[in-house]
Amino acid sequence: MSKIIDIEERLKQEQKKKLQVDRAKKVEMVRKILQCTRCLSRCVKCGLHFETEQIYRRYRGFRFCDSCQEEYEEFVRLKQEGAQPRHPWFNRQWRRTWETWLAYQQALKEYGESPEFLDLVREVEWDR
């Protein structure tokens, strides 16, 4: 009789483990979206690490390295003026890349502000 396993206790332990794994997944997802995609120490476009003095410099809401900022300024200039690009590799596909990247940034912003995501953030915060 000493080898009898209490099935109810075992089921409770398994359920507890499952809840811990689910919570860990939620926490990791929230961390990636809130922390990694908006990292202060990296260029938001290419991921280049900033020097300390560059961390707080922003350009039109984005934190770009010098190279990406230069490209973004050229993209905006071309879009506004319809002018000729300064470099031949700033072609239609390059412009499409920037347009797609900006759409992705907007989608991330909207997702981070969605009621469902905010509920997830609150849930993760309250479970601490």
Q: Is residue 58 part of a domain?
A: yes
Q: Domain of 114?
A: 7-126
| CA torsion angle 37 39 40 43 (round to 10) | -70
Instruction: Tell me how far apart the alpha carbons of residues 41 and 97 are, in angstroms, rounded to a whole number.
Output: 23
Judge whether 120 lies within some domain: yes
Query: Which runs of consecutive H residues, i.e. helices, occur in 32-114?
Result: 66-81, 92-112
Mean pLDDT of the chain: 82
Decide: 119 and 127 in contact? Cβ < 8 Å. Answer: no
Q: What is the token pair recorded at 28?
A: 């990791």
Counted domains in the chain? 1
pLDDT of residue 128: 54
- Mean pLDDT, residues 7-33 taken together: 78
Question: Regarding predicted confidence, which is higher, 126 or 116?
Answer: 116
Confidence category of residue 94, pLDDT binned at 50, 70, 90: very high
In a domain, 2, yes or no: no
Question: Is 1 contained in some domain?
Answer: no
Q: Is the pLDDT at 58 greater than 70, yes or no?
A: no
Mean pLDDT of 44-69: 80
